[in-house]
Amino acid sequence: MKRIFSGVQPTGNLHLGNYLGAIRNWVRLQDEFEDCLFCVVDLHAITVWQEPKDLVANTREVAAAMIAAGIDPERNVIFNQSQVSAHAELAWIFNCVARLGWLDRMTQFKEKAGKDKERASVGLYAYPNLMAADILAYKGTHVPVGEDQKQHLELVRDIAQKFNHDYGQEFFPQVEPLIFGTATRVMSLKDGSSKMSKSDSADNSRINMTDNIDGIARKIKKAKTDPEPLPSEAQGLDGRPEAANLVGIYAALADTDVEAVLGEFGGQGFGAFKPALADLAVAKLSPVQDEMRRLMDDAEHVDTVLHAGAEKANDLATMILQEVQDLVGFLRP
């Protein structure tokens, strides 16, 4: 059986990278896979401090973005993680399966904890175990994500394999990452060598899903570039990370590839390319953003979707968790 699972953290500043690298791909996958779960991962969010009021609003914002982008809540399961306790319960079991050495290798922990890792939360360190629990609580088989989640998904495979080995049964599937499209790693608009990120303190580094038309156009206009005109072939973008990023974003928004974009804009400078990119971004994002705003004003509707999703998710996860408990040797009524 094939089953999709993926998630987004409700940590605020949902951005173009999240949309192009993940959410937009999910919209397409819902037609290919009958069984899809999309989760607002609030347990993950609190691995770094979240103001409680903001967390509530950001949870609704991410759910609104998923629905506005075109994920159908009738056909798919949209829910927030904390409402299905199997995630936390299975994560504990995986805390006891995963090895410290495996987590020590996680580059995202090193990046997020920074120099002062003694002050990072234990949750931030154990984060990938919870991610494994998210997917495997449903025996998820396919996980559509951006490039930055690749290492975490390798760990999920290691955890599944060790669990199956330790308990002597091919119980959990080996998950397949689905990393596709031209925007698997959208970079910062201010620095082509760092990823566009929710936590970047510079708001100009990213296009937020809540930015208005003027904001989008202004940020693209101000984006860092170089003085050269665009090349006619993709090879010419080597060593030009900012140019490569903007061309990649254009290709993703236009649903085409980098070669096609360079076929059209090769030889032209950024003075011509940036306004074209801004127009395209506004044309493609505005309808999603308008619907997102409408949904964010209708918290009741969003909450109803999340609640119904949590019930469906809970039914699925409870059955699997009970089998896990039997395998592990937990006595239950």
Residues 3-22 that bind ligand TYM (CB under 6 A): 5-9, 17-18, 21-22
Phi, psi of 75 (to 5 degrees): -85, -20
Q: Which is nearer to ligand TYM, 41 or 321 (CB)?
A: 41
Q: Which is nearer to ligand TYM, 148 or 303 (CB)?
A: 148
Q: Which is nearer to ligand TYM, 22 or 55 (CB)?
A: 22
Q: Which is nearer to ligand TYM, 112 or 301 (CB)?
A: 112
**Which of 135, 220, 302, 313 touches ligand TYM (CB under 6 A)?**
135
Check: CB of residue 295 under 8 Å from CB of residue 302.
yes
Residues in the chain, overall count? 333
The Cβ of residue 33 has, within 10 Å, a number of other Cβ atoms equal to 16
CB of 268 to ligand TYM, least distance (A): 25
Q: DSSP 3-state assignment of 6?
A: strand
Q: Is 185 in the site for ligand TYM (CB under 6 A)?
A: yes
Give the binding range for ligand TYM (CB under 6 A) out of 30-38, 46-54, 131-139, 312-320: 131-139
Return the DSSP state at 236. G
**Of the residues 195, 219, 274, 284, which is catalytic?**
195
**Which of 3, 195, 219, 274 touches ligand TYM (CB under 6 A)?**
195
Residues 31-60 that bind ligand TYM (CB under 6 A): 41, 44
Q: Which is nearer to ligand TYM, 8 or 285 (CB)?
A: 8
- Where residue 204 falls (left for φ over 0; alpha for ψ -120 to 50; beta otherwise) is alpha
Sheet holding 4-8, edge to edge: 77-80, 36-40, 4-8, 142-144, 176-178
CB of 140 to ligand TYM, least distance (A): 8
**Of the residues 112, 162, 190, 224, which is catalytic?**
112
Q: Which is nearer to ligand TYM, 7 or 231 (CB)?
A: 7
Q: Is 149 in the site for ligand TYM (CB under 6 A)?
A: yes
Q: DSSP 3-state assignment of 254?
A: helix
Catalytic site includes residue 112: yes
Non-local (6+) Cβ contacts of 185 within 8 A are 17, 21, 146, 147, 148, 195
Phi, psi of 253 (to 5 degrees): -65, -35
End-to-end CA distance of the chain: 29
**Of the residues 162, 190, 198, 312, which is catalytic?**
198
Q: Is 84 in the site for ligand TYM (CB under 6 A)?
A: no
Residues 107-126 that bind ligand TYM (CB under 6 A): none
Distance CA 214, CA 218 (A): 6
CB of 143 to ligand TYM, least distance (A): 5
Give the binding range for ligand TYM (CB under 6 A) out of 130-138, 208-216, 283-291, 311-319: 130-138
CB of 232 to ligand TYM, least distance (A): 26
Retrieve residue 3's tokens.
């089953």
Catalytic site includes residue 195: yes
**Which of 63, 71, 84, 131 touches ligand TYM (CB under 6 A)?**
131
Amino acid identity, position 187: M
H-state helical runs in 49-173: 52-69, 86-95, 100-104, 107-113, 122-136, 150-166
CA-CA distances (angstroms) from residue 5 to 34, 46, 125? 12, 20, 22
Distance CA 80, CA 86 (A): 12
Q: Indicate which residues carry an active-site annotation.
A: 112, 195, 198
Query: By the criterion CB under 6 A, which residues form the site for ligand TYM?
Result: 5-9, 17-18, 21-22, 41, 44, 131, 134-135, 143, 145-146, 148-149, 152, 183-186, 195-196
